[in-house]
DNA sequence: TGAAGCTCCTATGTATACATAGAATGCTCG
DNA sequence: CGAGCATTCTATGTATACATAGGAGCTTCA
């Protein structure tokens, strides 16, 4: 086996040397992007051949995906990408609410105001961003990631941050199903602003309650969108 | 390799056939029981020889333990049982509070009163149980497990129940460090009674707040006990 | 024609051999 | 005598060969 140097020679991002890591990232990415649809079966031999690694690292990758909750399988008979039913989405949001409310509370208590003041400015520009089509949409999602990261940094609790990361992983998939209408995203940006203001003010209760409101709105929107187009974009 | 029939022929509990499952359960049990102490290095060859499986299933077992947060390791250079610092304990309780409060709230909303009425009677007998030494102590812990299971059943949310299970895994280890003085356990039983009463009454706020109080007391006790005997039993 | 049993096949579970990287140690040179 | 480098060793990462279980399909008998 030779070294293959044709693996996305993107400067800066040193490609992961371990084959199991490559397999994990590729499969995870494909599941989150919807390339591997829910319910799709993952055959070890087939996937290992496709990705270009042997079965051993592929199994390690699948083990991590199972831990992430992205893949499930009966012991003896294969694995499949987990489904995302309406009930699953409601259940996920139930946990999400518990964790994000708590995180918002703690963040409001321990935050560095400067960080959130900077974020505030960026969220103020969100409406303009959302008028710029796909590129703006991606930048908006990046902005939300920045906000999440800022909260995580303020929380400074590996357990809580880890649990939130798990929840957010599933959220990426859900976001695809309810792919964003601009009106909802503008509202969401406004809701984020309220949360940020509460965090800046150090108002723990307000931060938690604003988060609660935001998630409730988000869930309502997601459920409506998913029920409207159960299998895919209907146009 | 022959089949070994000498593996705890306990009737009813069909021993797991898969070697990776055996390895996982044994290692997990040994970590939770404190046989494998925090910081202990896990060498694949050494452990696989000890447990009697090859390296392949052992690696699968370690992967699951990493997902559980019981084992950590730098990619290239070995694995070790995770440490439980005072900060870790505080952080864990922070997440636990978010999840258990939310769970209590939901349980109070969706509970089957009969189940919790039965639990109530058992908790009323807890003080007598705690006067019976080690046997009673184990039965008391079993009773808490029953309570947790009842809450999980009432919550009926795989994500939330899973997150709680993860937190409780770590709690088993912490419980060892603060191994229970009877006074604290009697107080804990009383606190549980308050939570149960709130759940029976369907009082969601009271259930959440009583849970908050209970966890705060529990954390205080644990921290005091751990600080009193940092490395192990002193007396 | 339908159902039951058997056979074969496929995909997972396991074991082991080989590759490789990182660290410790000893040697050598200044 | 100390520091730097090379060597060796050890433990992980990977690949592959073999064992096994579970299911699908076919055959046969009632």
Considering the domain architecture, whether residues B71 and B91 belong to the same structural domain is answered as no
The confidence score (pLDDT) of residue A78 equals 80
A128 and A184 part of one domain = yes
Residue A150 lies in a domain: yes
Both structure tokens of B96: 């636990």
Q: How many CB atoms lie within 10 A of CB B13?
A: 8
- What CATH number is given to the structural domain containing A219? 1.20.120.530
pLDDT of residue A207: 98
pLDDT of residue B14 exceeding 50, the answer is: no
User: Which positions of strand D lie within 7 Å of protein CB atoms?
Assistant: 11-17, 21-23
Residues B28 and B109 in one domain: no
Burial of A68 (0-12, 13-18, 19+ CB in 10 A): middle
Ranges of beta strands (E only) in B5-147 are 41-42, 71-72, 79-81
Does residue B7 lie in a domain region? no
Residue B4 Cβ < 7 Å to strand C: no
B56 with A60: Cβ contact below 8 A: no
Establish whether the CB of B63 is closer than 7 Å to any nucleic acid atom in strand C. no
Domain extent at residue A162: 86-228
Residue B8 within a domain: no
Average pLDDT, chain A: 88
Do the bridges between strand A71-72 and strand A79-81 make them parallel or antiparallel, or are there none, so unpaired? antiparallel
Does the beta-carbon distance from B94 to A158 stay under 8 Å?
no
Find the mean pLDDT for residues B54-64. Answer: 95
Which residue, among A98, A155, A211, would best test binding to B if mutated, counting the most B CBs under 10 Å from its CB?
Answer: A98
Say yes or no: Cβ of A43 under 7 A from any atom of strand C. yes
CA-nearest of B91, B116, B122 to B195 is B116
**The CATH number of the domain where B75 resides is what?**
1.10.10.10
Name the residues in B84-143 having a C-beta closer than 7 Å to nucleic acid strand D.
none
Same domain, A62 and A137: no
Both A74 and A96 in a single domain? no
Mean pLDDT value across residues B185-213: 96
Within a domain: A3: no
Position B234 pLDDT exceeds 60: no
Out of B81, B106, B131, a domain closes at: B81
Q: Which of B98, B170, B204 to mutate to test the interface with A (most CBs of A within 10 A)?
A: B98
Distance A59 CA to D16 C1' (A): 14
B197 DSSP 8-state letter: H
Residues B132 and B213 in one domain: yes
User: Which chain B residues contact residue A73 at CB under 8 A?
Assistant: none
Let me know whether B98 and B50 are in one domain. no
Q: Across the interface, do B157 and A60 touch by the CB < 8 Å criterion?
A: no
Same domain membership, residue B125 and residue B77: no
Determine, yes or no, domain membership for B183: yes
Q: Do B123 and B147 lie in a common domain?
A: yes
State which of B36, B54, B81 marks the end of a domain: B81
Same domain (yes/no): B156, B108: yes
CA proximity to B63, closest of A21, A38, A159: A21
Domain boundary among A81, A99, A122: A81
pLDDT (average), residues A95-115: 97
Chain position carrying tokens 């909802």: A184
pLDDT in tens, A110-130: 999 999 999 999 999 998 888
* Confidence bin at A234 (pLDDT 50/70/90): very low
Residues A93 and A191 in one domain: yes
- Is B6 inside any structural domain? no
B235 found inside a domain:
no
Chain A, nearest residue to B101 by Cα: A98
Q: Is B2 inside any structural domain? A: no
* Residue of A75, A88, A158 lying closest to B91 (CB–CB): A158
Q: How many folded domains does chain B comprise?
A: 2
Residue matched to tokens 């107080």: B187
Domain shared by B137 and B186, yes or no: yes
- The proportion of chain B whose per-residue pLDDT surpasses 90, expressed as a percent, equals 73
Q: Is the CB of B77 under 7 A from strand C?
A: yes
Length of chain A: 235
């Amino acid at each position: 086996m030779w070294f293959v140097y044709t693996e996305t020679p993107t400067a800066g991002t040193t490609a992961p040397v371990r084959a199991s890591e490559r397999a994990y990232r590729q499969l995870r990415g494909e599941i989150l992007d919807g390339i591997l649809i829910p319910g799709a079966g993952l055959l070890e031999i087939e996937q290992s051949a496709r990705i270009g690694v042997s079965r051993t690292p592929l199994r390690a990758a699948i083990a991590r995906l199972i831990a992430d909750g992205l893949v499930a399988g009966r012991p003896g008979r294969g694995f499949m990408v987990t489904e995302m039913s309406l009930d699953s989405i409601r259940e996920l949001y139930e946990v999400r609410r518990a964790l994000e409310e708590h995180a918002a509370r703690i963040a409001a208590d321990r935050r560095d105001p400067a960080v959130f003041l900077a974020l505030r400015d960026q969220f103020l520009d969100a409406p303009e961003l959302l008028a710029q089509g796909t590129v703006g949409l991606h930048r908006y999602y990046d902005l939300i990631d920045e906000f999440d990261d800022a909260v995580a940094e303020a929380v400074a609790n590996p357990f809580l941050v880890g649990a939130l990361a798990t929840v957010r992983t599933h959220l990426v998939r859900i976001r695809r199903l309810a792919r964003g209408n601009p009106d909802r995203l503008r509202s969401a940006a406004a809701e984020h602003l309220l949360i940020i203001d509460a965090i800046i003010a150090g108002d723990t209760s307000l931060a938690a309650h604003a988060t609660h409101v935001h998630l409730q709105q988000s869930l309502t929107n997601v459920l409506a969108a998913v029920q409207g187009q159960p299998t895919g974009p209907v146009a």
